Amino acid sequence: MRKILLLAAIAATAVPAAVNAQAARGGVLVVDTDQVMSTCTACKAAATQLQQKQGTLRSRAQTLNQQLQTEGKPLQDQFQALNGKQPDAALQGKITAYQTKERNAQTELQRSERELQSTATHVQQQIGLRLVQVVEQVRARRGAQLAVAKDATLANDNAIDVTSEVLAGLNSALPSVSVTPLPQAQGQQQQQQQPQGR
């Protein structure tokens, strides 16, 4: 009798292991892509650089805003002192120069914002492409039919979660990324900065 109970106990513990192995082989794998994208080595380094670039952009915007306020206040006071009269040529020249500075500042900030967005997109593309390759390698190695993002599931078994394996593979395959704008965006920026031919 003890022998039968012992065999039943062994069989009961072996069945879940066999089911989990079967689920991973020829079944479905789950990857917590949010965790991978926030904790991979290249991801963290790129996020730090992007935050620094964003901080630089914010600081530049504040500097330009302060400069424009400092220059604009006296002009506004002079214009209001005219009580509806037309400004003389000297004041009109100062107003025009100020408006040009204001437009140039807006253009600079918009260009910098587009560059930052392009850089973030480029980083995501590099990581995303390599992540897909690594997930495919893990899926093929384990013989699974499908790999899905964890947030796309309602519930899943931890036995089919390969997040740590994917994270290790991504860290090995992609130790760093280029934190630069998308290649076509760089070309467009260079063209915009070059003077136009006659």
pLDDT of residue 84: 86
186, 119 Cβ separation under 8 angstroms: no
Mean pLDDT (whole number) for 136-153: 95
Instruction: State the Cα–Cα distance between residues 142 and 156, nearest whole angstrom.
Output: 17
Looking up tokens 């630069």 gives 180
Q: What's the mean pLDDT when you consider all of the chain?
A: 85
pLDDT of residue 82: 87
Residue 161's beta-bridge partner residues?
30
The half-sphere exposure of 155 on its side-chain side, counting CA atoms within 13 A, is: 0
Q: Does the structure show a pLDDT above 90 at 28?
A: yes
Q: Does the structure show a pLDDT above 60 at 138?
A: yes
14, 145 Cβ separation under 8 angstroms: no
Which is nearest to 167 in space by CA: 131, 121, 142, 128?
Answer: 131
CA distances from 90 to 75, 82, 98, 185 (A): 11, 13, 12, 41
CA angle 35, 38, 44 (to 5 degrees): 150
pLDDT tier, 8 (very low <50, low <70, confident <90, very high otherwise): very low
What pTM was estimated for this model as a whole? 0.73
Could you give phi then psi for residue 148, rounded to 5 degrees? Answer: -125, 155
DSSP state of 183: H
- Record the tokens describing residue 100, joined without a space: 């040009």
pLDDT of residue 189: 53
Residue 31's beta-bridge partner residues?
149
pLDDT in tens, 35-59: 999 999 999 999 999 999 999 999 9
pLDDT of residue 187: 54
Hey, what amino acid is at 60? R
139, 30 Cβ separation under 8 angstroms: no
pLDDT of residue 99: 96
Q: Which residues contact 123 (CB under 8 A, 6 or more apart)?
A: 46, 50, 177, 178, 179
pLDDT of residue 50: 97
Cα distance between the two ends of the chain? 100
